[in-house]
Amino acid sequence: MTLRPRLPFAGLVFGAIAGILSADFWPNPSSWALAVSAALGLAAFFRPRAWLAILFVAAGFNFLHTLRFLESPAHLLAKEFNGSKTIDAEGIVWDEPRTMSEGESSFLLRATVLGEPPRDAGFIRVRSVGESPACGDRVRIRGVARRPQPPRNPAEFDQATWSARQGIGLELFCDTPQDLAIIAPAESRAITRAAARARVWIRAQLAAGIAGSPDEVALIESMVLGVNAETPPEMRDLFQKTGTLHLLAVSGLNVAMLAGIVLRLLKTFRINRTIAVFLTILCLAGYALITGLSPSCTRATIMGAFLLVAPCFDRSANAVNSLAGAAFALLAWDTNQLFSVGFQLSFVIVFVIFILARRVQDRVVPWANPDAFIPRELWSPVQRFRVWVWRGFAAAVGVNVASWLGSLLFMAGYFHLISPASIVANFIAVVLAFFVLALGLASILSALAPPVAVLFNYANLLCAGILLHVIAAFAKIPFGFVYVEMPRRGPALACEVTVLDMDEGAAAHIRSARSDWLIDTGHLRDYPRTLVPYLRSRGINRLDSLVLTHGDAAHIGGASPLLRESPPRNWIEGNTSDRSPTRRALHAELAERQMERTLWAAGDSQKISAETQIHVLFPPPGINRSLADDKALVLLITVAGRRVLLMSDAGFYTEQWLLEHEPTLHADILVKGWHDREKPGDTDFITHVAPKLVIAGKPRYGTRPEALEPWVVSLTEKNIAVFLQSQTGAVRIQIRKDGAVEATATLPGNPTFSIHP
């Protein structure tokens, strides 16, 4: 009979997860959880039962999560901020300040808000100008504080939720260098400052002699130290597409490689096993400290310590129990780790590897065995070598397949990506990553002999270069990666229009049947943070058509990177010319790629799908206007008996032309921007169109929000609903096949607009 191994930590970690989730979704005062925990603790003491122990742990973690998160000083203070407010604060710089653009620096401050009485603010994220403080400095600071903002567009990074999970309640912005004063340099955090200095020295050592190859140096630093702030976005994108992004962060792979190298070195010197394990754990802890105690490295270090230390106490290291023990310890340290993507990915992938990798390996190993009737003792040296190599290959296959399957749902759910190429790419990439880490360690250890260190760095440069070429090659494999959209519930739609919030620019996505159109791309700065995440979240690998309404950089700035990364099948513009340098540069790129343009003018129309058609209302051929806004395309979408009018940045001239030349201007929904030279105020055109809903983009820079109030009031009095994107963020318009319409805002607290069939 086979005895089932005991997994005490498995039950405890399930109890911890249940307690954290119950506190997060059904919050109650911590006193309640403490009372329940005490009662269950007494019951478990007098009647020891496994289920009572699990319930006790669940109640205890409910109390911990409520106390540390929902009742933390940062959370309570942030609840008092409905807008922006100037505050004075004092505290310790908690991390190494990061240099931003235009002379700004960003750092975490363990702060107290000054006043009567002073308030503990927990952590505040500060952005300052002028001289940057150092980690451990005590500073006094004045600035405008606000709560981190929620995402304004679908799939944008949720800064508000992420900050809250990190214990950051407020963001504070300083306008002048005089707003920050260092009152006690290097007051605390000596270990963190020492680790930061060590990190700077190691970076210099890794780059010695090869500083002229910035991409390779950035890759080496990312893989050895987790310093990925300087990693080029294009490089990160390639690693993400090929499923090898984990190589750019110090994670379980790096920690496992380092542990293996250290244990091998200690074994060479015949160090006692227990002492070797203790020294290895110390090295891993020091490595985690030098890399800035990143969550991924900390998780891997704790997990590795559990696996390494068990045999030292004459206990078999049950992998699943050790994994659960590491998860339990991490959750006890920080309950919010449960909501971290990295935490979920790390533990689920490792669990699946423990469960599945050996099974896959056992299926692959027999493929290279000699004839089953030949005894193992009679195998030739060539056959033995072949089987030995194949066993290593089969083990790699098992780990890669298991990790890919374990990460599949997470990658599709969080990153909207499925990357079949990653199974093969990781075979080569992991081997090269081992050499990069080993050569980096050799360079650090040979610092006293600079010529030797430079030789190691040159070898590392070669490995990093090969790795970059391998990743780039796998990223070009057809269907090597595919962006997918998670299934959505709801009735079948005839058409969906998503009007993105792009500050002064604009972009609108139209989906009907299986066709995806994009009207404008927004500003270049909005491309990586707004447009790319949105398109990927909708599972769009290539647009069917891109329509550029006019040459304003705020509307077409993102077209150039979109053309380079994923050229649309059709490129459509208005049949006009302007002086836009952005548009001229785009035309040069199109000519270089030998890509044709379709030019539209008033009277043109095209089907998006069998149910949806787009009509061009403006401009007419041969129009002669100096401003680009006066030549912008005006488009009308007709579907299921409903009409959506896209006005772009059209102003008074365009509106008057439409009133004179378009007899049927009625629309159910009107989407408009703002003319460059005209102020909001005129509602005659909108009254003629008679929409039930107007979606208005953000006004030009310098326009006060209250300046729009009379305009909004005048429309509301005419029973026209108004969505100001400064208040709603992106707006999603769903048109059903029966003609029902529903418009919803991205920002919470906004009403939903509906039109019944």
The rounded distance, in Å, linking the Cα atoms of 258 and 280 is 9
**pLDDT score recorded for residue 37:** 85
Report which secondary-structure segment, H or E, holds 131: none
| Residues 511, 372 share a domain | no
* In contact, 85 and 145? CB cutoff 8 Å: yes
| Of 382, 399, 417, the domain-final residue | 417
Domain ranges, residue 15:
8-71
* In contact, 63 and 30? CB cutoff 8 Å: yes
**pLDDT score recorded for residue 548:** 94
Report which secondary-structure segment, H or E, holds 93: strand 85-93
**pLDDT score recorded for residue 693:** 95
| Residues 627, 524 share a domain | yes
Size (the chain), residues: 757
| Residues 404, 499 share a domain | no
| Of 366, 392, 417, the domain-final residue | 417
| Residues 629, 723 share a domain | yes
| Residues 599, 616 share a domain | yes
* In contact, 651 and 630? CB cutoff 8 Å: yes
In a domain, 734, yes or no: yes
SS3 call for 417: strand
| Residues 631, 536 share a domain | yes
In a domain, 228, yes or no: no
The 3-state secondary structure of 566-622 reads CCCCEEEEECCCCCCHHHHHHHHHHHHCCCCCEEECCCCEEECCCCEEEEEEECCCC
**pLDDT score recorded for residue 38:** 87
| Of 26, 43, 71, the domain-final residue | 71
In a domain, 463, yes or no: no
Max intra-chain CA distance, the chain? 96
**pLDDT score recorded for residue 3:** 46
* In contact, 88 and 140? CB cutoff 8 Å: yes
| Residues 35, 104 share a domain | no
**pLDDT score recorded for residue 225:** 79
| Residues 170, 50 share a domain | no
Residues in the chain, pLDDT under 70:
1-6, 101-102, 227-231, 249-252, 310-318, 681, 702-703, 705
In a domain, 385, yes or no: yes
For the CA atoms of 155, 159, 165, 171, the dihedral, rounded to the nearest 10 degrees, stands at: -170
State the CATH number of the domain containing residue 97.
2.40.50.140
Structure token pair of residue 336: 């919010």
Domain count across the chain: 4
* In contact, 712 and 728? CB cutoff 8 Å: no
| Residues 687, 622 share a domain | yes
Chain centre to alpha carbon of residue 13: 27
**pLDDT score recorded for residue 262:** 82
In a domain, 367, yes or no: yes
| Residues 511, 391 share a domain | no
In a domain, 716, yes or no: yes
In a domain, 629, yes or no: yes
Locus of tokens 């310790």:
92
CB atoms within 10 A of CB 662: 17
**pLDDT score recorded for residue 310:** 66
| Residues 670, 723 share a domain | yes
In a domain, 264, yes or no: no
| Residues 57, 96 share a domain | no
Which DSSP string do the residues of 295-343 spell out, in sequence order?
HHHHHHHHHHHHHHHGGGGT----HHHHHHHHHHHHHHH-GGGGG-HHH
